[in-house]
Amino acid sequence: MALMTADQYRDSLRKLNLKVYAFGEILTNVVDHPLIQPSVNSVAKTYELAHHPVHRGLLTATSSLTGQIINRFTHLHQNPGDLVAKVKMLRLLGQKTASCFQRCVGLDAINAVDSVTFEMDQTLGTGYHQKFRRFLREVQDRDLTVDGAMTDPKGDRSLRPYQQVNPDLYVRIIKKTEEGIVVRGAKVHQTGALNSHELLVMPTTAMTEADRDYAVSFAIPSNTPGITYVYGRQSSDTRKLEGGTMDVGNACYGGHECLVILEDVSVPWERVFMCGEYQFAGTLVERFAGYHRQSYGGCKVGVGDVLIGAAAQMAEYNGTGKASHIKDKLIEMIHLNETMYACGIACSCLGVGTPSGTYLVDLMLANVCKQNVTRFPYEIARLAEDIAGGLMVTLPSERDYQHPDIGPLLAKYLQGVATVPTEHRLRMLRLVENLTLGSAAVGYRTESMHGAGSPQAQRVMIARQADLEQKKRQARVIAGIEVEDGVLPQAAGQSNYHAVN
């Protein structure tokens, strides 16, 4: 079975029986819980569109490992075209869900681990790459969702992993046995962890020899004994528990984050892809970050498309759609959104092959892409809020609107353009609120800041990739200070031309 259906995916999650806490209670039915169900629906869309007659060409690929048709979310990029297709796919899914659809983290992780394990084996004589590819073939054959788990709690950021007072603030190896390793620690901000079949764990930073026990990468089923999940709160998330649809804003789709706690979890050697090779931890982090920063040029743009559409629709509902300043604001939102997309496409087009055959994005442009994403969605959200109007944050509840006595009065006094039903106006307001302030903002505005690394993380990479010395040399050559290929640029005053007075 290379391609699961959406229903098969949901059924597969029900069999996992994860240990999940939310609001101080253990959840017994994660898949159908109102807090989690919208995020399950978002991931299910990645399975649904793989069978869609219009979209399956974008959502599927031919496996470089087996030659079979697989979901693109399990594919190793084989050329720049694959990288471009990924960005287009993510934009499409953002448009279809207006939320985080969670599966791109695993896609970015498998591509990073694939190339790094190959180079680790070539340099150090280890045997990780073939083990990883056996794992990946299973993922492709069964069409599994993988949670890429990189971010550790980190504790005191001024200290190295091995220097922490609490040694478990970074995932570490606490024991090696004949069967495998035993690990302890936690991963934070784990997007879609409750909706995943596998966890692919990676180190979160470059390591030194003293950090050797923290230089670890492995894959384990998400229901492995010793794993505990704690649901992360989102703004306005309890609206999902109220039974309505209007106040949620986006009632069908959503995303979630988890704290994933690993309490002495056993990992068989066959699933271990790094075990103390600290020299390659930084490379793995850098490549995963590059892929994931590319991702934001697709997914956030797709959600931005929906937000721009909602703002434009609100302008029409309010009767301001023809105002010149409203048109100008919409143009600015589109410009910012397409600029992010352009960076995502550009870093894909300039991708290069790694020794394993897997293609890597242009790291400079991927980091420029994400640096833009840390800024532009905030301005897009601000303009959307401006266009929508203040009623977005003072709107009475859905229960009031449905009330037999007060409801008709709300329908009367909250009307905009007379030809538009009041309920349509209120639903659109709630969608804008959801995307800019509510639970979806976690996967749009706030995640745009910190997802795939904070803004400073991209600036560090931009500085590293910029090659300022080469730029200074180019300036010296043009200024006539330094020769290039043994020839100084000819100055105008040195030509045979003489001005006629």
User: pLDDT tens digits, residue range 197-235?
Assistant: 999 999 999 999 999 999 999 999 999 999 999 999 999
Q: Could you give phi then psi for residue 281, rounded to 5 degrees?
A: -60, -45
- Residue 151 token pair: 């971010």
- Rounded to the nearest 10 degrees, the angle between the axes of helix 281-318 and helix 363-373 is 40
- Highest mean pLDDT among 352-356, 475-479, 485-489 belongs to 352-356
**Structural domains of the chain sorted by starting position, each given as residue range(s) with its CATH number in brackets:** 6-277 (2.40.110.10), 285-465 (1.20.140.10)
Measured CA to CA, the distance from residue 382 to residue 473 in angstroms comes to 42
Positions of E strands within 222-349:
227-231, 257-268, 272-275
Nearest Cα neighbor of 342 from 145, 140, 91 is: 91
| Whole-structure pTM value | 0.95
Would you give the DSSP letter of residue 243? S
Residue 250 has pLDDT above 90, yes or no: yes
> Which residue in this structure is represented by tokens 């300039």?
350
Instruction: Please list the active-site residues.
Output: 100, 104, 191, 257, 292, 296, 299, 447
Q: Which pLDDT score, from 0 to 100, does residue 306 have?
A: 98
Q: What is the pLDDT of residues 365-405, one digit of tens each?
A: 999 999 999 999 999 999 999 999 999 999 999 999 999 99
